[in-house]
Amino acid sequence: MSQQSPSPEWLAQLDELLSALQDERTAAAEDQLAARLGALDPDLLAFLVGQVAEQETPEAAGFLEIVAGQPGLSEEIRAQARAGLGTLAERGIVPMAPGAERFLAGYVQRSRERGEQIMLLGWRLPSGSIEALVYLLDWRGDGLKDFYITRQLDDAEWRQLVEHNANKGAPLEEISLAEARALLRAAIAEGQRYSRPLPREYKLTHSLSERRILNADVPEAAPRSFVAPDLTPEAVVAAYVAALHYRDCALAAELLAAEHPLRAGRTLDEAAQALRAEQKQAPRREEEVEVTPVEEGDQADENRAVVEASGEQVAVEKTGKRVRSAVRERYTLAREDGGAWRIAAIERVGE
C-alpha cells in the first residue's frame, strides 16, 4: 500500500504511536515499544518510521533510535530509521533521554583476517548522553589487548568517534549486543589460553562489562563472519598461512570451505579444535609466504581458483635444535554464495 494513501488502521496506529511518544518514557514503556515493533507488518512499520521522522521532535528521534537498534528487524527498516535519525541530527534534534540506559549500537572492524579488531559499543544514558566502551581484540595471543571507557558524549561526538574508528584501516560492521558478547567472550578465552593478563582498566571496571555485555539478557548470536568479504584468493591463502603461524585456528577454520575435509560435517568450533589438535605437534609455519595464481587454461572457472604458496616451516627436534625447511603447497579455492573465496583443498607440492 502506498504511503500517500494509508488505511484507517494505519492512521490509527500512527495516532496511537504519536500519543505514546508524548507520554513519560520509562524503561518498561521502551521495552514494550521494542517488543511491539517486531510484530508489526513491515509495510506498516515503514510507514510509521517515515511519518515519525517528519515530526522533528526529540521523542521522534528516540523512537527512530529504538527502531535502528532492533537486530530482529529488517536491514531496510533499520536503515530507514538511521537515515531519519541522521536528518534530524543535522537539524540539531537528538533523541530524548531514555528511562534507563539503553544499548545504542555496536560496531566491529571487518578485519578478522588481520588478527586484530576494534570493537566499539555505545549506550544511551538516562541523562541523554552516550557512553562508549572500546575494546581491542587480538586473536593472535593477547585476547583482550586493550580497553577504555569514554567520557559521556553528545550525539555529535558519538558520530565522530564512530567515524574516527571507521577510518582506522578497516570498515566497521554493525553488530548486535549478542554478537558483541560472543566476541568479548571469545577474546577473553583466547587470552586465557595463552595466560595473558586482562588490561588494567578492564579489570578495574570489569563489573560494567559483565552487567552490560557478558550477563546481558539477550539470545545467543548466530555465527557470522567478520573477515573482509572482498579478499582475493591470494589474500585468503596468505591469511590462512599467517593464521597457522599464530595458531589462530578459529580464523584458519573460517577460511576453509564447507567441503574441505576439516570442515565437512563440523561446526566452526569443531573445525578449529581439529586444526588445533593437528597443529599442536606440527612444525611452526613462517608467516611470510609467496603466493602466485596458477593458470588453468581451458579449465578456467570464475567460481574456482588455484594458487601456489611457497614459504618455510620450523621444526624443533628433541635436542632443541630448530630445523628450517621449505614448504610449497597448491590451494584450490571455491567462491561461496556470498562471493567470498574459501579454501576447498590443500595439496603439498614436491612430496
Q: Please name the residue that has the C-alpha cell 554464495.
A: 337
- Claim to verify: residue 121 and residue 205 sit in the same structural domain: yes
Question: In sequence order, which ranges of the chain are alpha helices (DSSP H)?
Answer: 8-22, 27-37, 42-53, 58-68, 75-90, 155-166, 177-193, 200-204, 206-209, 233-245, 249-254, 268-280
pLDDT the model gives residue 1: 38
Amino acid identity at 144: L
Query: How many Cβ atoms are within 10 Å of 54's Cβ, its own excluded?
Result: 10
Q: What is the pLDDT of residue 351?
A: 59
Q: What grid cell was written down for 69?
A: 537498534
Dihedrals phi, psi of 296, to nearest 5 degrees:
-110, 5
At 67-123, the pLDDT tens digits run 888 877 888 888 899 899 888 888 888 887 777 898 999 999 999 999 999 999 999
Q: What is the pLDDT averaged over residues 172-199?
A: 94
216-255 pLDDT, tens digit per residue, is: 988 898 889 999 999 999 999 999 999 999 999 999 999 9
Whether residue 82 is found in the same domain as residue 106: no
Distance, CA of 27 to CA of 310 (rounded, Å): 59
Q: What is the pLDDT of residues 188-227, one digit of tens each?
A: 999 998 899 999 999 999 999 999 999 998 889 888 999 9
Range of the domain at 61: 8-90
Query: Which residues make Cβ contacts (< 8 Å) with residue 344, sequence separation at least 6?
Result: 256, 257, 259, 260, 332, 333, 334
The answer to whether 147 touches 140, Cβ cutoff 8 Å, is no
Residue 65 lies in a domain: yes
264 and 239, same domain (yes or no):
yes
Q: Please give the model's pTM, rounded to 2 decimal places.
A: 0.83
Number of neighbours of residue 183 by Cβ within 10 angstroms: 24
280 within some domain: yes
**Residues 341, 321: contact at Cβ < 8 Å?**
no
Same domain, 155 and 193: yes
In tens, the pLDDT along 129-157 reads: 999 999 999 999 899 999 999 999 999 99
The average pLDDT across 54-79 equals 84
The pLDDT tens digits of the residues spanning 26-40 come to 666 666 777 777 777
Q: What is the pLDDT of residue 25?
A: 61
- Give the pLDDT band of residue 275 (cuts 50, 70, 90): very high
Does residue 224 fall inside a structural domain? no
Q: Which three cell numbers stand for residue 301?
A: 572457472
Q: Report the candidate in 216, 254, 249 with the shortest Cα–Cα distance to residue 110.
A: 254
Q: What is the mean pLDDT of the chain?
A: 88
Three-class SS state of 172: strand
Name which of 40, 65, 44 is nearest 53 in CA terms: 65
- Domain termination site, one of 180, 214, 248: 214
Position 3 scores a pLDDT of: 46
Please report the pLDDT score of residue 4 as a whole number: 52
Residues 256 and 309 in one domain: yes
Average pLDDT over residues 273-278: 92
243 in a domain, yes or no?
Answer: yes
> Is residue 220, in this structure, part of any structural domain at all?
no
Domain count, the chain: 3
Minimal CA–CA distance to 40: which of 16, 65, 4? 16
- CATH number at 282 reads 3.10.450.50
Q: Are residues 208 and 248 in the same domain?
A: no
Same domain membership, residue 333 and residue 286: yes
Assess if residue 3 is contained within a domain. Answer: no
Q: How many CB atoms lie within 10 A of CB 163?
A: 10
